[in-house]
Structure 1
Amino acid sequence: MDDIPLIFDPVTGHYHRITRAGEALLGYLDGTRTRDDLVAHFSRSARVDQVRAEAFSRQLDTFLAGLEHGGLLEGTERADQGTGTGPGGKRFRTSMLMPRVVLTRSLPTVLEPVARVLRALPARLVVVLVTLGAATGYAFGFHTLFTATPGLQDLAGPTFIIATGVMLLIVLAHESAHAIVAQYLKVPIRGLGVALLFYFMPVAYVDRTDAYRVRGRGGRVLLAMAGVLSDGWVCGLVGLAALNSSGLAQHTATYLLGMQMFLLVVNLNPLMPSDGYTALEAAAGLTNMRGRAFTLLGHAVRRQPLPEHLARFGTGARRWHMAYALASVAYGCFLAYAVFHTIPVTVDLALSMVGR
């Protein structure tokens, strides 16, 4: 990734970032050398003195301990190994406060014909046209929502239920857009499923963990934003439907435009594991910023020593990650509070639909 070496563990499906020096050292971990053999070998090769040899010995111990902690050395095992976290693991798992259920792993096979056609087109032209179309769609759809549709108090009947059903199809198209771009980049997704964000908000997702294999940042940013771009085109079409219809169809389209505006805000929110967060992380060349932030916060709350890769963080980086973790937790609490207080409104809306 960005010419940064990564170790891929086929058992868990996890990626582990390492340094160039670590990459060079991996070739010597072939089962024929002990730790002391490695120290002696590199000390002789570099012709270093005793002090430098001892420094290398400490660095080697740290590197081997990291590999062992990750379950990457033969005979070792991760704490979460065997829980179905790998590409072919169980259909249900939890991670980052998100229980997940995998619905299908067959999308790569279905989408390859589409990806093959797209690969034959000029990539830059396709990206420009799709982006311009999405921006135009959002502008037109939301302008229509605020200027040419009835108010919420005027919407009645089963329109909300119909709009919710259509919205499920739009979300499926959103996730399929991620999958198409992944397939185009020859990094097939691992699965399509449903997750419960913070254990209470249902969201659809595609597992695009293998996007780490994409070397350029531009491809990873496009992969992250594919769903948002797809929604823009749909938003424009829904706006056209709302502008050129009346009655039940117009009311349903109005609800859909409101839902899409909410979905856009959620998808671009950097305080959640959203498409916007993923795109920012990819553009900045960061790796697992959110996971590191929550690890720092967890160790601080429990007053535990930090793992080696986080202990090396400078003061500024540590403060930034802690601030991000605290802001994300605060936002999650606010979101839960808001959802709880919208329950009466939702119940009243449901009752109004059945005439009560």
Structure 2
Amino acid sequence: MPVTPPACVDITNSRPRVRDDLQITVHRDRQGEPWFRIVRPRAARSQRERFLRVGTAEYALLSHCDGQRTLEQARTAAALQHDPQRLSPERVEALLLWAQREGLLTGDHQQDDAARQAQTSGKQSLTWIRVPLLHGGPWLNSLVRLTGWVFSPLFALLAVTLWGLAMGVAISDYARLTEDLRAILTPAGWLRLAIVWVGLKLIHEAAHAISCHKFGGRVGEIGVAWMIVAPVAYVDLTDVYRIPSRWRRMVTSLAGVYVELTVAAVALLGWSQTHSPTAAYLLSTIAMTAGLASVLFNLNPLMRLDGYFALTDWLDRPNLATDAQATLRGAVAWLCLGIRPKRTHFGGSAWGLLVYGIGSLGYRISVITALLIAGIQMYQQAGMLLAAIVIVTLLARPLYQTLRSVVMTTRQRPAALLRLTGVVALVAAVSLAATRIPYPSETGWEAVTEFVDDAPVRAQAAGFVAQVHVRDGQSVQAGEPLVVLENRSLAVQLAAARAQWQTALANSRYHRQQHETGQAIANQRTAAALGQRVEDLQSQIEHLTVRAPRAGVVIAEDLEHSLGQWTDEGQAIGYVVDPAAIKAIVAVPQSKLDGLSDRLQQPLQVVVGEQRIPATLISIAEQTSSVAPHPCLAATAGGPLATRPQEDPRAGELLEPHLKLEVRLTQPPRSARGGQPARVVSQQR
């Protein structure tokens, strides 16, 4: 909140001189009126170039500030050229102070300001460390000849058509698309996602460079930047203002998103036609990364990315973020210290700039916070050290300037301290009151959906699969045959057992007729044992036909491909489930068991995707366990529960024991399937 007064200028006798190194281009607004863009060169390589906009009368006055004329003489000379637009003395004074503040004039105090800006801005921010690799130049001509047609109107029409077709595919096959995207959550999926992301970012930045060069702009540095936790590619398009057409400048700003969306559309259309699981996963990953992620991240105008620069050209305001920040600082200075904002030269709606400044600041804070949290999770202690350094670097200078400005202002105007105290007290009171309001809160635990009938259908006899009567997803009735097995050895054993049984019965009758009671009893016992053997073999032969134990839907993905395969006794054939009977298997960490019984008394909901479904408690395990309640919950299967590394003697066990709960959903989710990630929440008031 810097509020230090500008350097004093003797308006009457001053002979201002405009710097010789300013770059000036002429543009026209929507009404066709000319305006002039002034580019102030950088005082340091890492400093952003400052874009300034002036009208015809202001430009005429500045063009006559040659160091020989006084300000009044320059004003008179400008009026001879543009008498209808002659500036008043007040506007001349404001323009001169603004030009001095922006570093457009030469002089000792301006040189000191430039040196000070070079010193303060010459240091790279820890949130954005650039490593230049090459510069644009004539070598881009060959790329423009090869790929410049991508930015032609005809191809743009084709690209828009592809976007529409791809959107239709995504909507019509949404369930399958989300199912394929689940593979990204696996450890191998993250690696492949990173590789795809790097490739797409290279294409993205190449599109910016090629479009800028094609339309007549000059491409600056091309390199890699470190953004807190990860490297990103960048292209310096500061000189895009050299492109006269505002629409072409906007195309250059949006070129990366335009190409990525086209790549995403082609990938999505290819995904809809492929039957290979590997190709489907790769194409869906490309479509998601190049489409949704690019739109959400790059088109956001609240950060200095593609959407922001397109918006600045649309509004004819090249310094939108800087002007908004200045407006926000001025509003805070007025609110806290009663200092009226300086009269600005950039014009425009102050309320619009204020709203944009607040939104931009809030979004920037949220992004940096999210990146720091990600860095801590990725790099552990090193990430915490990096986060501390970044926070100190970002806050130290603004806090120092704010405190310095507050001290200077309160010394000059003691009443401002009373106003500041009142504002701070009001903010503290509102914050305290907000913390005392009883907001509804949620306690959540990781879970996985599963069918209530999760016991598999098992073969009760061994044999080769001879017939398959059902397929995956088919509805069946209780007792309906699923699979027929074939085991000829059972038939041979049954025939032999029957022959032995009949022989034992005949021998028993013979010895009874001969009044040989002992031999008769022995043969009768043998016959009874052989009879039981015959019944067992008959039962096994009957069980060679595996039947549905209940009415429901068959879940057995590879059942149709099992013909001719050997099946052991007790081996799982598949599942027959009721698709409307869904439960969630919940994992509660041991560290969060306190008060669990009270939370379970509150209404429970299962969050599956965007659905919230009421649920009732079924069972609670007697004790915690280091084994995941469901295989899909473990990190080794892409789940949220951390497990011990492979080199650990107890590899695969959970780092923290968890308690297993089971809750039943009152209704099935839209896409009912087992192993679906979910979260069980308990409402608290």
Indicate the TM-score class for this superposition, using the shorter chain for normalisation.
Answer: 0.7 to 0.9
The partner residue of 1:269 within 286, 297, 300 is: 300
Structure 1's 214 and 157: CA in aligned 2 closer, same or farther, altered over 3 A?
Answer: same
Change (3 A) 1:73 1:142: farther
Corresponding position: 1:332 with 2:364: yes
Gap regions ≥5 residues in structure 1:
none
Encode CA deviations 1:173-218: one digit per residue, 9 max, x unaligned: 1111111111011102222344566x56765432222222333221
Q: Is the 8 A contact 1:135 1:232 kept in 2?
A: no
Q: CA 1:120–1:258 in structure 2 vs 1: closer, same or farther (change >3 Å)?
A: closer
Partner Cα distance (1:231, 1:276) in 2? 14
Check whether the contact 1:140–1:236 (CA below 8 A) recurs between aligned residues.
Answer: no
Q: Deviations over 1:278-312 (max 9, x none)?
A: 32332233332222112211232244554432685
Q: Which runs of 5+ in 2 are unaligned?
A: 1-26, 29-33, 44-48, 380-634, 647-651, 653-685
Q: Deviations over 1:209-267 (max 9, x none)?
A: 22223332211221121111110222134335645263555434443433332232112
Matches within 5 A, 1:72-221: 72-75=104-107, 76-77=110-111, 78-79=113-114, 81-82=117-118, 93-94=124-125, 99-116=128-145, 123-134=152-163, 136=165, 140=169, 146-148=175-177, 149-150=179-180, 152=182, 156=186, 158-195=188-225, 203-221=232-250
Q: Is 156-165 or 39-48 further displaced after alignment? A: 39-48
Q: Secondary structure at the match of 1:5?
A: strand
Q: 1:68, CA displacement in angstroms?
A: 1.8
- Structure 2 CA distance for aligned equivalents of residues 44 and 157 of structure 1: 73
Task: Between 69-78 and 130-139, report the one with greater CA deviation.
Answer: 130-139
Q: Which residue of 2 aligns with 1:225?
A: 254
CA contact (8 A) 2:148 2:210 kept: no
Q: What secondary structure sits across from 2:128 in the alignment?
A: strand
What's the CA shift string for 1:131-150, capped at 9, x where partnerless? 44455456657866753453
Match of 2:330 among 288, 294, 299: 299
CA distance in 2: counterparts of 1:141 and 1:22, whole angstroms: 53
The whole-number CA distance in structure 2 between the counterparts of 1:203 and 1:138 is 28
Match for 1:218: what amino acid?
W
Amino acid corresponding to residue 259 of structure 2 in structure 1 = S
The one-letter code matched in structure 2 to 1:191 is E
More strand by share: 2
* Alignment length (residue pairs): 341
Question: What does residue 344 of structure 2 align with?
Answer: 309
Give SS of 2:124's match.
strand
Distance 1:225 1:26, change over 3 A: same
Say if 1:106 and 1:136 are closer, same or farther in 2 by CA, change over 3 A: farther
Task: Provide Cα deviations, 1:103-146, integer angstroms capped at 9, x if missing partner.
Answer: 33423433222325677899433433344445545665786675
- For the 8 Å contact 2:225–2:233, the answer to whether it is kept is yes
SS at match of 1:104: strand
Matched to 2:220, the amino acid is R
Q: Determine what percentage of the aligned residue pairs are the same residue.
A: 22
What amino acid does structure 1 have at the position aligned with 2:57? Answer: A
CA distance in 1, matches of 2:271, 2:147: 31
Distance 1:170 1:329, change over 3 A: same
Conserved? CA contact 1:160–1:252, under 8 Å: no
The reply on whether 1:23 has 2:59 as its aligned counterpart is yes
Q: Aligned pair in 2 of structure 1 residues 68, 337: CA closer, same or farther (>3 Å)? A: closer
Q: Counterparts of 1:178 and 1:185 in 2: how far apart (Å)?
A: 11
Q: Say whether the 8 Å CA contact 1:174–1:227 is kept in structure 2.
A: yes
In the superposition, relative to structure 1, how do residues 219 and 122 fare at CA in structure 2: closer, same or farther (>3 Å)?
closer
What amino acid is aligned across from residue 220 of structure 1 in structure 2? R
**Which of 1 and 2 has greater Rg?**
2
SS in 1 for 2:234: strand
Aligned-pair CA distance for 1:160: 1.7
13-22 or 171-180, larger mean C-alpha shift: 13-22
Higher mean C-alpha displacement, 166-175 vs 261-270: 261-270
**Quick one: distance in 2 between partners of 1:118 and 1:129?**
15
The separation in 2 between residues aligned to 1:120 and 1:158, in whole angstroms, is 37
Go from structure 1 to structure 2 and tell me whether the alpha carbon gap of 1:285 and 1:230 turns closer, same or farther (over 3 Å shift): same
Higher mean C-alpha deviation, range 217-226 or range 71-80 = 71-80
Q: Which has the higher contact order (CA 8 A, sep 6+)?
A: 1
SS in 2 for 1:309: coil
Residue 67 (str. 1) matches residue 99 (str. 2): yes
CA distance in 2, matches of 1:205, 1:58: 44
Q: Is the Cα contact below 8 Å between 2:133 and 2:223 reproduced in 1? A: yes
Out of 276, 285, 296, the residue aligned to residue 246 of structure 1 is 276
Counterpart code for 1:225 = L
Matched position secondary structure for 2:307: helix
Bigger helix share: 1
Alignment match of 1:322 (pick from 309, 330, 354): 354
User: In the aligned structure 2, how far is the partner of 1:162 from the partner of 1:121?
Assistant: 27
In the other structure, the counterpart of 2:68 is 32
Q: Among 257, 280, 285, which residue is 2:287 paired with?
A: 257
Q: Is the 8 A contact 1:39 1:56 kept in 2?
A: no
Distance 1:156 1:62, change over 3 A: closer
Change (3 A) 1:256 1:154: closer
